[in-house]
Amino acid sequence: MNTLLFLGPIGTGEIIVLALAVLVLFGAKKIPELMKGVGKGIRGFKDGLKGIEDEINNPGEEEKKS
C-alpha cells in the first residue's frame, strides 16, 4: 500500500525525483547534518513518549523521587 491521502499512489520514479530535488536543494554535504537533526528529533520524541507512558503506568512514583 503506497498511498498517501494527499499525494495518491507514489512510485519509484516519484521517489527518485524527490531524492534528486532534495540533493540539488541542500547539497551532498548538508544532507547528513539534516538527517542527524531528524534523528535527534525522533529520539527526543520517543523519550518523551516513554516518559509519559512511565508516568501513566506508575502515577505516584514521580512524586516519591522529588
Reported pTM = 0.53
* Per-residue pLDDT tens digits for 8-59: 788 889 889 998 998 888 888 888 888 899 999 999 999 999 998 888 888 8
Domain segments of the chain as ranges: 3-65
DSSP of 1-64: --EETTTEE--HHHHHHHHHHHHHHH-TTHHHHHHHHHHHHHHHHHHHHHHHHHHHHSTTHHHH
